[in-house]
Structure formats: C-alpha cells, structure tokens
A and B are shown apart, each in its own frame.
Chain A
Amino acid sequence: MWECHGAPRGDGRRGSPGRGAGEGRGGGEAGRPSPRGVGAGLGGIPAGSLKSPLSHPRPPPPTGVVPFVALLLLQRRPVAGRALLVNGPGCPGNSLCRANVHEQTRKQVALLNATAQDLFSLYLKCQGEPFSSESEKLCNPGGIFFPAFHVNRTSEKKEVMVAMYKLFAFLNASLGNITRDQEELNPTAKELLDRLHNTTKTTRGLISNLTCLLCKNYNVFQVDVSYGESSKGKSTFKKKQQGCQVLRKYVQVIAQAARILLPHLSPA
C-alpha cells in the first residue's frame, strides 16, 4: 500500500492546497501563538481566535485551551486565504472576501476530506508496529482534547462557521505539532512529510476563508479557540500516539464537517 520512506508518490492528489492556502509552515506549538504563524498570515493560527460581538462569555476552556484575542485577517488581494493580519477592533469594510470564497472553501474542505484517510494510513505506517495493527486501541482519541463539533445540517450557518473555525484552528496547530515531530522522528519519510505540509497549508487557507466569511457575513472577528496539549517534551511514543489520535479524530470529524459545511457553502 503506502511506502513510508523514500521518494514521494506522484499520485496527483498532493500538491497545491489551492488558492487560499497561506504560505509557510503551519502550527507551531499548540497552545501558544506562533510568531511565525502571525507573520505568515493565518499560518499557524494556533494564535487565531476571532471575536464576535454577539458571542456570550464562555466558561474556561479545558486543559490546553488558551483564549486568544482576535487576529483578524484580511485579504490584501481578493484571493481567499491570502490574508493579512488586521490590528483593528472589528471587521474591515468592503473587499474582505473574494467572490468565489464559498466555492473555494467548499473545495478546501472536500480536499481535506478526500486526503484525510490516506494521510492517517500513511502516518500509521510510518510509526511502525503495532500502530497499524492496533490503531483502534493505540489511537483511540478518547483521552485527548478535540474541539467539540456538535453541529448538524439544521444548525445555523453562523454556528457551523464558528465550529468550523475552532475545528480547523485546532487542526492547524495540531498538524504543525505532528509535522514538527515527524520531521525529527521520520526525516526520510518524504511522502508523509509532504502530505502533512500540504494538509497544513490547506488548513491554513481554509482558516483564512472562514475568517473572511465569519467577518463578512456575521461580523465575527473573535472566536475563542482551544488547543490540545502540546507534544513538546513528551516521549517519542507519546508523540506518535498523540499524532495518531489527532489524525484519527481528524478523519472522523472532517467527514462530518464536509457533510455539514458543504450544503452551507453550496451556491444558492
């Protein structure tokens, strides 16, 4: 099936995350704002949290949850995902989103959904046994933090968008952690690293588009985002396991997100 080490496969599914993906490496350490991410637009949005004047105060987040105040990202050009950090108190006026931002967001979610299972399978392969054979137990995501995603097709669009933002902000940070760990642990696994990089880029672009949509449609420019526990300082086994747990949950949630988000993003 997958070859963990060696040259990447040219299966055509890798590559550009599509317009809207930001540049640079995503993530950084979860739970802390990544200066790199800040500098690179939405990249590494562990920092990212958008603020909504309509949102109600929330109870303190669970472990690893760090509220982060508003990094509103604008798009210098109307290319979705090419966003700029805005140091303002609210959403900017016009020219926030490009006309095809819905379509682009839909494609980004579809792309993530299409590539998630392969990424997870390749990740398992690269961690060695018994990760592949006992992934049910080893990668059981029960013990880790993952943003709640309790929306469905009947949920309000704004609610869906906010949940999506939280989800992909968390994923972006987690993917950054996983990528960093795998670069250290599996430097020869080019295929895995490429897929992680591309997924992170796509996630970053998706966050940009969600930022734009939230701001434009609902005037939401601050969302409290929770991040999981950083893997830094953990043992190698724990790093492997945590990445495995996150990716497994990611596979499950991205499918749900695709089902829910796509109707909302379909052309009216």
Chain B
Amino acid sequence: MRKNPSLRCLLALAILCLTSLVHSQEIGSPGDPQNLKCVTHNLRRMVCTWDVSSRRRHGQTDFCYTTNDHPLTECFKTKEKRVEIPVPESSTTIKITTNSISGTPFATREFEIRKKDISFIPLAPHILSLTPDFPTSTLTLKWSDNGSIFPYGLDAFWQIEILRKETMEKVTEVTYYSKLTHEDIILSWNWTSDMPLECTSHYVKIRCFINITQFVGHKDWSDWSPVEVSPGKDTEPHGSGVFPQDTVVAVGSDVTICCVHEEGQQIKRMTYGPEVYPLIRLSSRSSAIRVLNASASDTSGTNVVCSLSEDGMDGTVLFVGYAPDIPQNLSCETSNFELIKCTWKPGRPSGLYGKRGTKYSLFERISGKNVSCEVNEMNKERVCGFPVLGDQKTYNFLLGVSNPIGQTEASLLVDISQRVHPKTPEKLTVSGNSSTSVHLRWFINGSFAEIRLLCQIEISNGHSEQKLHNVSMPGGKSSTYTAQLNTLHPYTKYWFRVRCSAADHFWRWSDWSRIEEHTTLEAPPARGPDIWRERSPSGKSLKIFWKPLSLSEANGKIVSHEVSCYLLEKPLEYKEVTEPSNSTEIKLGRNDCVVSVVAKNHAGSSPPSRITTVELPSDNVKTDRAVAMGNGIYISWNSYPNMTCGYIVKWCHSSGSEPCSVDWQKFPSNTTDAVIKSALFRPGVRYNFSLYGCKSSGYQLLKNITGYTKELPPKRAPNFTVEETSSDSILVKWEDMPIEDCQGFLEGYRLSFAKGEKDALKPRLLESGNPELKVKNITDLTKKSLKILDLQGKTSYQLDLQAYTAGGLSPPNSLYVVTKEDSVGLIIAILIPVAVVVLLGVVASIFCYRKREWIKETFYPEIPNPENSKALQFQKNICEGNKTLKTLEMNPCTPNSVEVVETRSAAPKIEDTEMMSPAADTVVPEDGSDSETENHVVVSYCPPIIEEEISNPPMDESVGSSQVVYIDIQSMYQPQIKPEEESEIDLVTTAGYKPQMQLPISALKIESRSPAEEESDKTAGYRPQANTNAWNMDTPDSPGSVESNNENASFGSPCSINSRQFLLPPKDDEDSPKPSNIGWSFTHFFQNKPND
C-alpha cells in the first residue's frame, strides 16, 4: 500500500466521502433533524423541509444557512419544519438546531445542500375558465402559464385530462406545449367532444412541466390543478332534451346522440331515422346512442326520437351531408363592361339546404374586393356578379365555397376585355330605297368603348342559302350600330338578323336579334326573254313565243312584253302583250322580218331579244328515234359546219284537249347532242322534236326526232276479228293502234291460242299454264292478219292478241272461235260401226240357224218330273226337325222379298228354299249350318197383295216371312267370299230380284260393272229352265231339278214352291197391287228380261 500512491489517494477520497455523509445524514441521535429536502417552484427560492427523528417535544428550531456566494450566515428561528430560502448559486450550508421547549438546544445538525440536490416542481396551474360550447360540443380551457416567474424561453408542457360522467371516467389526456415568455400568458385550449356536452358532465384538470435545461436538479410535473367541471343537462333539475340539436355532420361520421330526461322517467327506446339503436347509459338521467358511419340524410334531416315512459317523446334532427364540392367550369365574362358575371357548376350536391346550404363568395385578389353570392340552390348552374372596377382589366377571382361541414375554393385569372359576351342586339331596323342595298341599325346595351365589335348579319331570302356578312365597328357606350349591305338582288324579300361579339378577342357571340324583313326595290330585267317563232301552216301569220324570265333575271314583276317586227330597221308590227301570256301572233303575210321582244317591269325594260322569221328550205328531213336517258330524252345530230349561230331543238307539250305548248332549247354551234329535260315530260308519251340549225340568213329544219322519256306497255291490245274459219284454220285480222295507246315504240304483236271455251270462271289463257298454248309472235308491224293452221275441227279455241313495246306487253284482247265440223270424218265414223253391227248380226243369225238343235238342247231341255227331282229331297233337310213340309202345301203367301242363299261350301249341298222373315234372317240356323258359309242375296220384291193371304197371315214362321229364299246351286261351287264382301253383295242384291241365271262371280263384281250391265240386272227376271212349250201356265209351282254335279244343269229352278204366283210380275204390273198372273209364264219371262 505504501508503495502505491494512487491507492492511497483513493483511500483518502473514500474517507472524505464518508465524512460528508455523516454530516448530511441523520446521525440517529434523538431530536436530530433529518431528511432535509429542498424544492423550488420558481428557481429563485426554495422550500426546505425536514423531519425530527424524536417524538420528544421540542421548541423553536434555529435555522442558519450560509451560501458559498454570500459569506454571511443567515439565521432565524422557526417553529415549523419548513423554511423558504433563496436558491443558491452552487450550494448552501444549513445548520439546524433543535431546541427544547425551554430553549435548550439538544440537537444540531448541519447540511450542505448543493444545487443538484434541489428539486424543481412548478406550482399546479390554475384553470381560469372552462367554457362549453354546446352547439359544437367544444370545451374551451383557459389558464395562465405564470411565465413571469421563469426565465424567458422555457419550454412548458401542459398535461390536460378530460373526464366524463359521474364516475369521472377518463376520456382523453393531451399534452399542450407552450414557451414561457417571462410574462404571464393566458393559454387557451379547445377540445371537441365526440359526445354532446349536454349529455353528461365533463371534467378537466391540468398540470405542467417546465423544461429548464440549466437546472441540474431533479425536475418534475406539477401537481394537478383542481378539477373544473362542465355540467351536463342531466345535472340540471329540469334539464331534458335530445342532443345535439340541429347538428350538421359529414357523411360517414360517427355521431353520439343522447337523451336527457327528468328524474323518474325512463327511456324506452331511441331511434335514428326509422332504426332503433342500443342505449348507452351515461347517468341516471341520460342515455346515448352511437351512430357509426352516418349516411346522407333527407332534405329535412334525419330525425332522432327518444321515446320516454308515459308516451313522452322528444327528439332532434341531424343533418348529414357532404362538404362542398370544388366548383367546376368556373367562367367569368361581361356583357356590358359594367358587371362581370361568373358562372360555375356546383358539382356534387352537399345534401344540405336552407341555412345549412352552401355559401359562395367571390374574392378578387388584386383589388381585395369581396362579394357574397346569392345563388339559387335549385339551379344547376350558379351565377355570381362582380362589378367591373375602374381601369382594371385583369381580375384574379377566388370563389370561396363553404358549408357547415367544410369549405373549398376555385380560382380564375381573367382579362375581362377578352371575355366579352355582348347582350342580344335590340331594335333592329332595316331601311333602304335601292334595289341592291339596305341599311341596318341595331342597339346593344353596354359599354364597349374600349373594344371593337364584330357583328355578323345573317341574310336569307328563302331561295338561296343563308349568307353571313361580317362587319367590324368600334364599340360605344350603349350605342346604336349601323351597317350597309350591298349586292342584293332587286325585288327580293330578305330576312336579316344580327349578333355581335368582341372583334379582337373573340369569346362568344351574343344571341341573335329578332328577324327583320325587307324587300328590295325593282330593277329593269337583266336580259331579254328567250324567244322562238313559228309560222302558221298557211304561212300568213307568225306566232312568237317567249319564255318567262327567272326571278333573278326579271328583277321585279314582269308586267308586259313588247313584240315588234322590223324589216330593215323599219317597224312593221308592234304589240304589247301583258302578262301572263307568253306568245303572240302577228300577221306578216309572206314577208319576213326580224322579231324583237322586250320584257318590261315597273323599273324598266330588258334588252331586246331578236329572231329572224326566215325559214330556210330543207331537203330529205329524216325522222329519228331518240333514246330515253334518265328523266330526259337524248338526241344527237351531226355537226353542220354552216350552222353558225347554233341549234334549236323545239318540241311541243300537249296536255289533253288544249293545243300543245311550244318549248325549245338553244345550243351552241359546236354541240352535237343534248339531253332534253322538262318537268312536263311524262313517261309513255311520245314527244316529237325538231332540230333547227341557225344561220345568219335564217333557221333551217335539219331533222325530226321522236322519243319517249320512258316507254310503257301499250294501254290496250289492238282490236282484232276473225275473218275466216275452217275445220282446221282461223284467219284473224287486227287494226292499227293509236300512237297515244302505244305508250312506246310498237315492236310487234303476240297471238296466243289454245283450245278453250268461253267461261268467265276459267283463268285467262296466258295465265292458265295450258300446255297446248301456242304463241305466234308477229314482229312485222305491217302485217295486219294471220292464219292459224293445224286446228281441230268443231273445236272451240281461245285467241289472245297483245301488242308490245320495249316497256312490255299490253293487256290481251280475247276471242273464242269454234272451228267448222269435218263432215267426211263424221260420215265414216257413223258408217263403220253400223256396218260392223250388221255384219255381226248376219253372222249370228247364220250361226243360230245352223246350230238351232244344239241350242235347244242346251238352253231349253226337257223339264224332268218334279217327283224325281232332288230339289225336293233337300227340302227335307231344311225342314227336318219340328218343321213340317208346309212349303209343299201351296198355301197362299205374301212374300215381299226374295232371298237367294248362295252356299259356298265346297261340298255339294242342297238346301231347300223357304219363306223367311227378316227377323228369322238374323237368327242362327237351328240346324247348325254355318251361316258364314252362306251368301244371302236378298232381292227386294213387291208382291201382289192377295186378300186371301192377308186374312191368314200367321200360318207359319217361314210362310209369314216376307222373303223368298233361293238357293243358287251354282254358287255352291264358287269360292267362298269374304264376309265384308257379303254385306256389299247383300246390299246390292236387295235392290231387286235376283235372276237365277246370274253367275255368282257376277254378283261379286257387281259394283264394277258398267251401268248398262246394272241396268240389265235390274231388268233381269226369271229365266226359263226349259222349253216354254213344256210349261204349264196353270201350274203355280215351278218344278226344277238340280244336278249338283252337273255344271250345265246348275241353273236352278225357282224354289218359291210355296208360291202360287210368278215371282216377277209383268213389268206393266210391277206396282199393281193386284196379281195379274197366278203362275209362271215364259212370255212374261221374256217380257221382263228381253235382253236375256
């Protein structure tokens, strides 16, 4: 240690520190002062406090201090343990002696207070005022910074705490900064509450921290100031209401609305618009709702209603809108250099109206002048006026826009002399006493002395396009302006109107003035009329034509034309023709002259138009056809070099019965073609043009041209007649057609013919599509007849004749002609069949004569004995059983029909015939015979009524039947027919009596037979089975035998063996109710069926 001097130094320092510590700290002896603390609030003086360790009562304390910068020790006695002494520059030595009550010191303690041991704590700030602003929910806090006691320029920090509700919940804490200026400054701080201040009480307290960097001791926040309160309505005895009242907030804001009610009431619900919101309790008399992201309200705001108990209701209106939009299209102009009118579009509507609506003000930066704008919220465009200021031309406008939510602005720098939009010219008048010029006057309200005006005059006359005439003039102050317009047309009605703008810096035209009308005066016609002349056919008079002058040439109303005729400058004839005539006739005899025509109006006469009457002779004048072109007619001609003064094409318009009006067109001598157009040209009308050449000596007809503007189909077909008819030809002739009916150049005729008879219902020949239609085209227009050959005799033909042009076919003209009969053919057609028939008859007669024996054997054999006939045997089969053979008893019966049963069984079978009733016909046969194998042929039959039979009707079932049943034995060998065919046959066969000779096959095909055959069937009757000589006329029965295996003998005899009459009466007696015969008769048979 001795060897280390630094160690010794450290040890000495430690001892020194320990000594110092012993001096400054409580020694621990009873009555010793201890815990000396010194705090300064203003950096000049400090408050030192200490404790006394003993509880022993002591008296006054002697307090002495000595500062190192002030060698004198200051001592004083104090009964407190607190003294205020100056803050030392560096340190202070303090000696505190505690005395007993009797004044005896019993403890002394010395402290050394250095500057770093002193704490700096400012005094608690004092709130001067706390002012609530309820409409804006803003608290304004005011306090003094006490800066006078501190050095200049200290940083001061103020901590402000806001508390709310009865429970003093901390709402927010903010730190406010200020700089002390060595003066007492009253500081102010605003705080806007998110809750209306009426809703509940708000509390504020404040403390400060002064940041003095030179002070080395401990620095700390001051104590909190006493709490200042802004009482809510709920603290007032009868305070109630819904808050905030009539507040304007921005769309999207979060809003708290509270309902304060009186004691004893309860809030049932709170609604924001139509919606109910949850309540937030603030106090016993106040609750709130919180609306987040509020949407734009209606024009009249959003109602917030607080429903209280006992049907009490209170409410408020919240206006939710937008801050004003930036004005768009701000534009300023002047119309009179007295007022600047600025217009703009407001952009997005704020949704706020009335006193909450957007306010506008116009501030001019250069002059510093500000005007408030009265705008109509309902207009889309806003207007604000600013007065023109003296000599100021440039204006720097700032349009300020504000509403309760926000504000914005737009600016515009404008040279007003370049933004001139004059007002509408007024009092326009037009005057003038000239035919080509007028004088216009108008008035514009406004001071335009500084600028030139450019005015535009619109001139229109109803004929040509509108013309604009610009005129520049110096501006004036509310002046009348004039302009002269020249080069107008005489005698023309004009309409004028005017608008103006600035000439040098065009900005906008004014509106047009009202239209003023003026008609210029007349002037002499500009030229003479276009004239032509024509000699009368007699050549003694001359007709002169002229065309009316156009409006632009007439220069007024033409009142007359002077026509004169000169021969070598000597007037021969003079006429004045008043309007509206456009021709006149003068009598010249055979003389020629030069005709002069002058048009006259009220202002004077036109230059004369002259034409010579000399007509040069022409040879070989041809007539050509013209070609239609567009809506005109194209004509062309060869060049005639000697025609020195041009060509004239003349034509004539005719309309109905009036004489045609001459028209013409002149062409220069180098022209060889032209398209003649006229509004009077009509399609389908032929126009004849004459081409004249003009020589100095006169006019010469060069050629005629005829043409159509458009060819049409002829109006009608030519009339035609049949001149001659034979059995195979027809000669037709037709007439010429008038030109007016042709409507074009006729190109030919078309004759169509075909077989056909006159029938109005039939389609027309050309439309019928008749394959036999033949057409003959006649292109030779000179041909007026045509012979149609190769026709059929005694046949009706339809003939159609049409004419055609390039425009199409005319409607047809029709005739019906019957060709004559071919007599030779007819004779041949009759004679050949007759000859054939005769020949066949002769051959048949010869044949029959030679084969007479064979015929007899075949067709009329001997009739066998009925007793041996098998036909009687099968009757047993039929009538076996409970039936007796009553059919053989010859009982009278009254059959009214005959049924022929054709059995189609393959096996030979003989069945008896019996009288059957129609009812029995439907009954299944008792013998069990297959009914399907039978073919019932029922022949209607009207029997003679026999009184005897009527008296005994119900003799037997079969007898009572109205039918006679035959058995067609031959049919037994025929193929079985189908059931459906059966029914057909039944229907057919019931139509009459069924002859026995009729073959079944014929019966099957009866429907396909010819009518002649059917007729023969109808008349078919009973056929004799044998030689008629062998028959007994008195025998009612008709016995017959049937050879079932002999086809030749298959012709059955009548089976109506129970009948005593002939089945078929004579034809004469068919309908007679009386029987004419009582038995079969061969003669009757033949009478009934002569053909058979």
**Residues of A at under 8 Å CB distance from B?**
5, 126-131, 133-134, 137-138, 140, 183-189, 235-237, 240-241
Contacts and interface: CB of A to CB of B under 8 A. Distances in A.
B303 A129 contact: yes
A130 B354 contact: no
Contact of B301 (A134, A138, A187, A236): A236
Interface stretch (B310-318, B597-605, B796-804, B955-963): B310-318
19 contacts: A5-B299, A128-B301, A129-B271, A129-B273, A130-B274, A184-B355, A185-B301, A185-B353, A187-B353, A187-B377, A187-B378, A188-B299, A189-B299, A236-B245, A236-B246, A236-B301, A236-B317, A237-B316, A241-B315
B824 to A, nearest CB: 100
Nearest to A190: B378
Contacts of A187: 299, 353-354, 377-378
B317 A186 contact: no
A185 B305 contact: no
B161 interface: no
B470 to A, nearest CB: 44
A128 B274 CA distance: 9
B299 A185 contact: yes
Contacts of A189: 299-300
Interface range for B: 20 to 34
B305 A188 contact: no
B136 to A, nearest CB: 16
Contact of A128 (B298, B316, B353): B298
Contacts of B245: 235-237
Contacts of A129: 271, 273-274, 303
B353 A130 contact: no
A96 B194 CA distance: 64
Contacts of A140: 311
Nearest to A136: B311
B809 interface: no
Nearest to B276: A130
Contacts of B210: none
Nearest to A183: B354
Interface string B348-360: 0000011100000
Interface string B632-676: 000000000000000000000000000000000000000000000
B271 A130 contact: yes
B980 to A, nearest CB: 81
Contacts of A130: 271, 273-274, 303, 305
B238 to A, nearest CB: 16
Given A130-B305, A235-B316, A235-B317, A240 B274 contact: no
A240 B303 contact: yes
A185 B354 contact: yes
B303 A128 contact: yes
Contacts of A186: 299-300, 353
Contacts of A235: 245-246, 316-317
Interface string B205-248: 00000000000000000000000000000000000001001100
B299 A133 contact: no
Contacts of B273: 128-130
Contacts of B378: 187-188
B298 A134 contact: no
B262 to A, nearest CB: 15
Given A184-B355, A187-B353, A240-B303, A137 B246 contact: no
A131 B271 CA distance: 12
A131 B304 CA distance: 11
Nearest to B242: A237
A127 B313 contact: no
Contacts, number: 75
B923 to A, nearest CB: 89
B447 interface: no
Interface of B: 242, 245-246, 271, 273-274, 297-305, 307, 311, 313-317, 353-355, 377-378
B355 A137 contact: no
Contacts of B353: 185-188
A137 B273 CA distance: 16
Given A129-B271, A185-B354, A236-B246, 16 more contacts: A5-B299, A126-B300, A128-B273, A129-B274, A130-B274, A130-B303, A130-B305, A137-B307, A187-B353, A187-B378, A188-B353, A188-B378, A235-B245, A236-B300, A237-B304, A241-B315
Nearest to A236: B317
Nearest to B355: A184
Nearest to A138: B313
Contacts of B298: 128
Nearest to A182: B300
Contacts of A134: 305, 313
A237 B299 contact: no
A183 B355 CA distance: 11
Contacts of A237: 242, 245-246, 303-304, 314-317
B315 A128 contact: no
Q: Which of A127, A138, A187 has the most C-beta atoms of chain B within 10 angstroms of its own C-beta?
A: A187
A241 B303 CA distance: 11
B359 to A, nearest CB: 15
Nearest to A188: B299
A145 B395 CA distance: 57
A174 to B, nearest CB: 18
A130 B274 CA distance: 6
A237 B311 CA distance: 17
Nearest to A184: B354
Nearest to B302: A128
A140 B246 CA distance: 22
A130 B306 CA distance: 11
Nearest to A185: B300
A74 B667 CA distance: 92
B317 A133 contact: no
B483 to A, nearest CB: 45
A130 B377 CA distance: 27
Contacts of B304: 237
Given A188-B378, A241-B315, A138 B305 contact: yes
A116 B371 CA distance: 44
B274 to A, nearest CB: 4
A134 B299 CA distance: 20
Nearest to A127: B300
A127 B274 CA distance: 12
A127 B355 contact: no
A138 B271 CA distance: 13
Contacts of A131: 303
Q: Which of B271, B297, B354 has the most C-beta atoms of chain A within 10 angstroms of its own C-beta?
A: B354
A127 B246 contact: no
A119 B731 CA distance: 100
A14 B908 CA distance: 114
Contacts of A127: 300, 303
A188 to B, nearest CB: 5
Contacts of B302: 128
B313 A133 contact: no
A139 to B, nearest CB: 10
Contacts of B301: 128, 185, 236
Contacts of A128: 273, 297-298, 300-303
A184 B299 CA distance: 10
Nearest to B317: A236
Q: Which of A127, A129, A186, A188 has the most C-beta atoms of chain B within 10 angstroms of its own C-beta?
A: A129
A10 to B, nearest CB: 19
